[in-house]
Structure 1
Amino acid sequence: MTSTISKLFSLPTNVQVTLSLSSCQKQGKSLTTHLTFQGPNGSISTTIPQEIVKQTKEAREFLCILANPCCKPYQPVYQSMIQNCILGVTTGFTKELLLVGVGYKVDKIDDTLLSFKLGKSHLVSFPIPEKVTVDCISPTHLRVQGINKQLVYQTASTIRFLAKPDAYRGKGIRYLQENPKLKTKR
């Protein structure tokens, strides 16, 4: 006997969703549902298998149904994808970074390029992806914002990778709430 797991998503008043069926060529003959969310921050779209999402009679609600047993392990993934799209178009996602160290600075050259001074003999330039905004609050404080959670967090992680925090002194690029454990000196 198969069990049906369902979750009802109610949309805020300023968010609209459109569902459209499309065929996915990677999966052969299976159909997928293309969800497009529009809100005050912009629009974002995601693709989910057809048997999972159904529109209810209410215009402000849609249902995430998992009746297929092979889709059961993916239930949290699909639910978080939908929830992240709703949060992205209403409030957006933010990740803040700090540059810690003597001479560590960042300059925003234009809307598409950052220039870092990271204690090296040369400047390190970083191209800002589309659909992501980066604000320089101070020369040592960055804020990465956008509506796509995966893209915002990936951009922040790539910036952090330019100079990871040192294990002995703690200098480098770190997240705002991150407190790295420092090793004792020998």
Structure 2
Amino acid sequence: MSRVGSNPISVPDGVDVAIDGAHVTVTGSRGTLEHNLPEAISARIEDGFVIVERADELRNTKALHGLSRSLLANMVTGVSEGYRKELEIVGVGYRAISQGDAKIELQLGFSHPVHVEAPDGVTFEVPNQTSIYVLGIDKQAVGQVAADIRAIRKPEPYRGKGIRYAGERIIRKAGKAAK
């Protein structure tokens, strides 16, 4: 039995979950998210909890059971609290400049500045020149945008310069030994 899929999802106050067959819509103070459940998976609302059930015991259905439950739980959390990924910029002269909520300019040692625009539902905050916060209600979109920004200049292993997640540990290499 799926351990993740069998856990009920608590629906906090201010969040409305509507289930229409296989289509689930979650609405909260921060916005609305929608998801279509796979064929063998169903969901129902009972006493302020969303319960995800599966139709059979096939291996693939068990995997989809846990996945569907996690996706619905992430939707409930996203519309009530939202998601945030923090990025740090390390390097002399490396910096981020905010150009509104949905656009930032990055100076990362290239011969030109790099402009990054946020997709719908994702915003940026730049509290200082070396920090970027990626905010949104869709966990997957927030993580993907943060990964795309990090991929522009990954942390290099010799000096640690580049863009990294907050708290990420970079394994450093020793470099060349002098004669």
Report the TM-score when normalising by structure 1.
Answer: 0.85
Q: Does 1:54 align with 2:38?
A: no
Who is 2:71 aligned against? 81
Letter in 2 for 1:13: D
Once the two structures are superposed, what CA deviation does each residue of 1:63-122 show, in whole Å capped at 9, x if it has no partner?
A: 211132231122221111011011111111110001100000111123332111111111
Distance 2:65 2:75 in 1: 16
Letter in 1 for 2:161: K
Q: Larger deviation: 41-50 or 161-170?
A: 41-50
Residue 155 of structure 2 contacts residue 164 of structure 2 at CA under 8 Å; is this kept in 1? yes
Q: Larger deviation: 132-141 or 110-119?
A: 110-119
Residue 7 of structure 1 contacts residue 65 of structure 1 at CA under 8 Å; is this kept in 2? no
Q: Does 1:67 align with 2:52?
A: no
Instruction: Give me the identity figure in percent.
Output: 34
Matches within 5 A, 1:102-181: 102-181=92-171
Distance 1:110 1:6 in 2: 43
Structure 1 vs Structure 2 CA RMSD: 1.9
* SS of equivalent to 1:83: helix
Who is 1:26 aligned against? none
For 1:92, which of 78, 82, 86 is the aligned residue?
Answer: 82
Question: Structure 1 residue 35: deviation in Å?
Answer: 0.6
Please identify runs of 4+ aligned residues in structure 1 that moved more than 4 A.
Answer: none
Q: 1:140 to 1:57 in 2, by over 3 A?
A: closer
Residue 158 of structure 2 contacts residue 175 of structure 2 at CA under 8 Å; is this kept in 1? yes
Distance 2:46 2:99 in 1: 50
Once the two structures are superposed, what CA deviation does each residue of 1:31-86 show, in whole Å capped at 9, x if it has no partner?
A: xx11111112111111102542232454x233211132231122221111011011
* SS of equivalent to 2:66: helix
Matches within 5 A, 1:23-62: 33-56=22-45, 58=47, 60-62=48-50
Distance 2:27 2:117 in 1: 27
Residue segments in structure 1 that go unaligned for 5+ positions in a row: 22-32
The size of the alignment, in residue pairs, is: 172
Letter in 1 for 2:42: V
* SS of equivalent to 1:19: strand
Letter in 1 for 2:23: H
Residue 6 of structure 1 contacts residue 66 of structure 1 at CA under 8 Å; is this kept in 2? no
* SS of equivalent to 1:49: coil
* SS of equivalent to 1:69: coil
Residue segments in structure 2 that go unaligned for 5+ positions in a row: none
